[in-house]
Amino acid sequence: ARHTLLRHEGIETVSYATQSLIVANGGLGNQVSRNQLLPVLEKCGLVDALLMPPNKPYSCVRYTTVEESKKAYDTLNGREIVDDLGQKIILYLNFVEKAQWKELGLQALPPGLKVIEEIISSEDEKMLLESVNWTEDTDNQNFQKSLKHRRVKHFGYEFHYDNNNVDKDKPLPGGLPDICESILEKWLKAGFIKHKPDQLTINQYEPGHGIPAHIDTHSAFEDEIVSLSLGSEIVMDFKHPDGMTVPVMLPRRSLLVMTGESRYLWTHGITPRKFDTVQASKGHKSGIITSDVEDLTLNKRGIRTSFTFRKVRQTPCNCSYPLVCDSQMKEAPASFPESDKEALQ
Ligand code: AKG
């Protein structure tokens, strides 16, 4: 374990006892949560800090005294624990000079992005979830498909994953479900949304499911795209073309509103996995998952159903992001990744 850490992560372990230990295999990236690891470590002494970096298979613990960290090394090195998936893993410990982790810069939500919490009541949530009939067959007017990593259903217009667009001349009969009407009216009146949507995609994600990172085709939909999270919270990743990723918690019953830069320039996607890395102290409140490694843990995903509302665009897009705008480019960009196209063939 010592050599692997050194080689891949640039972590220097030392052969003498210090207050701090690297706990290999005891990381969020290994499905070991803070709630699980901390009590194990605390049996050996007072823990001053436990740093759990996102997606890494190790963590770093600092005890208040060297005696305590020595005790942890003697009792826990080579010890078996059970991870959050019920699998046995063996911890390997090594002393390090300092428990530290290079913090990423301060993060902010992508410009134009908002998460409005508690936008609907639990009763409305139940009603909306019960209104989705997943058993209808595909002859039905409202197109439904099982993609590789989720189930989808379209209303108003069918979204074609092969060309990432809608057939504007062929609206689906029936429009949006009646049940959405009063909810959308309320949001318009309250100023949460600016346009009345005419297209709805319902996605259902089991734990382990996801959606590839994508930008909704500019020429297909107007600026404002909103998504209602039902049934369970999830972390959605927003990526800037420069490579910066901002993970954002979408709580159950919240509305994600993407406008401007966040709608046109940043991709959004959900990584297919069973656990999300979340802020330990915040509960499941919305917003950025920061890189505060002293405050991260794992959250088991549940079944999430999202209602994504959009307004079909009738004129070419003239946004300020021509490099990613299919209306302003000679060749159409491939905005939805191959994996979804394949799943539909
Ligand atoms: C899509 O259907 O294109 C989405 O991005 C869905 C987003 C969501 O599940 O909230």
Mean pLDDT of 12-34: 90
Beta strand 20-24 with 58-63: parallel, antiparallel or unpaired?
antiparallel
pLDDT at residue 343 in the model: 42
Å from CA of 306 to ligand 1 middle: 7
ipTM over 0.95: yes
Predicted confidence band of residue 150 (pLDDT cuts 50, 70, 90): confident
Report the Cα 334 to chain-centroid distance in Å: 22
Tracing tokens 């409005």 back to the chain, one arrives at 116
Mean pLDDT of 204-217: 95
Of the candidates 157, 193, 202, the one whose C-alpha atom is nearest the C-alpha of residue 175 is 157
Residue 341 has pLDDT above 60, yes or no: no
Residue identifier of the C-alpha nearest atom 8 of ligand 1: 306
Q: Give, for 182, the enclosing helix (H) or strand (E).
A: helix 178-190
Å from CA of 311 to ligand 1 middle: 14
Residue-wise pLDDT for 311-325, tens only, equals 999 999 999 999 899
pLDDT at residue 143 in the model: 58
Rg (CA), the chain: 23
Residues facing residue 247 across a β-bridge: 237
In whole angstroms, what is the distance from residue 313 CA to residue 311 CA? 6
Q: How many other CB atoms are there within 10 angstroms of residue 1's CB atom?
A: 19
Residue 136 has pLDDT above 80, yes or no: no
Q: Does ligand 1 come within 6 angstroms of the Cβ of 211?
A: yes
pLDDT at residue 338 in the model: 46
Å from CA of 270 to ligand 1 middle: 9
φ and ψ at residue 169, rounded to 5 degrees: -85, -5
- Note if the pTM is more than 0.90: no
pLDDT at residue 107 in the model: 65
Mean pLDDT of 99-106: 57
Residue-wise pLDDT for 278-302, tens only, equals 988 866 577 788 767 778 889 999 9
Of the candidates 71, 34, 70, 31, the one whose C-alpha atom is nearest the C-alpha of residue 49 is 34
Which of 57-61, 125-129, 165-169, 289-293 is the least confident region? 289-293
Q: Does ligand 1 come within 6 angstroms of the Cβ of 203?
A: yes
Which of 107-111, 124-128, 208-212 is the least confident region? 107-111
Which numbered atom of ligand 1 lies nearest the CA of 227? 10
Å from CA of 269 to ligand 1 middle: 7
* N-terminal to C-terminal alpha carbon distance within the chain: 44
Q: Does ligand 1 come within 6 angstroms of the Cβ of 227?
A: yes
Output the furthest CA–CA distance in the chain (Å, rounded).
74
Q: Which position has the higher pLDDT, 3 or 60? A: 60
pLDDT at residue 104 in the model: 46
Å from CA of 211 to ligand 1 middle: 7
Å from CA of 204 to ligand 1 middle: 10
Å from CA of 213 to ligand 1 middle: 10
What proportion of the chain, given as a percentage, has pLDDT over 70? Answer: 85
In whole angstroms, what is the distance from residue 174 CA to residue 250 CA? 29
Q: What is the dihedral of CA 242, 243, 244, 246, to 10 degrees?
A: 130
In whole angstroms, what is the distance from residue 153 CA to residue 138 CA? 10
Which numbered atom of ligand 1 lies nearest the CA of 229? 10
Of the candidates 82, 27, 84, the one whose C-alpha atom is nearest the C-alpha of residue 56 is 27
Q: Does ligand 1 come within 6 angstroms of the Cβ of 18?
A: no
For CA atoms 332, 333, 338, 339, the dihedral sign is: negative
For residue 310 the two structure tokens come to 């959009």
What proportion of the chain, given as a percentage, has pLDDT over 90? Answer: 63
* Burial classification of residue 264, based on how many CB atoms lie within 10 Å of its CB (0-12 exposed, 13-18 middle, 19 or more buried): buried
Which numbered atom of ligand 1 lies nearest the CA of 150? 9
Report the Cα 327 to chain-centroid distance in Å: 29
Q: Does ligand 1 come within 6 angstroms of the Cβ of 144?
A: no
Q: What is the dihedral of CA 207, 213, 216, 219, to 10 degrees?
A: -150
pLDDT at residue 7 in the model: 59
